[in-house]
Amino acid sequence: MGIGGISIWQLLIILLIVVMLFGTKRLRNIGSDLGDAIRGFRKSVNSEEKPPVEDDKGQTIDAQARKVEEPSRKD
């Protein structure tokens, strides 16, 4: 028994039929496009966009610059 009750020979026959229908070049392109899409999705999920912060003059600064300008205070 193979994966989910499908033997290795049945999987190979299905693979052969798919290659014959689409061709190796098209399958390679589909695979690379799918990989790029997944990579882009992961990148967008992992990068958190923080809202812009305005300083006392009304100018927009990023959060990293604000942390450098305002050191943490200890009470």
The full length of the chain comes to: 75
Task: Determine the pLDDT at residue 45.
Answer: 84
pTM score above 0.75: no
- CB-based contact 2:11 (threshold 8 Å): yes
- CB-based contact 63:57 (threshold 8 Å): no
Task: Determine the pLDDT at residue 33.
Answer: 94
Terminus-to-terminus CA distance in the chain, angstroms? 68
**Regions of the chain with pLDDT less than 70:** 1-3, 48-75
Task: Determine the pLDDT at residue 36.
Answer: 94
Separation CA 27–CA 35 (nearest Å): 12
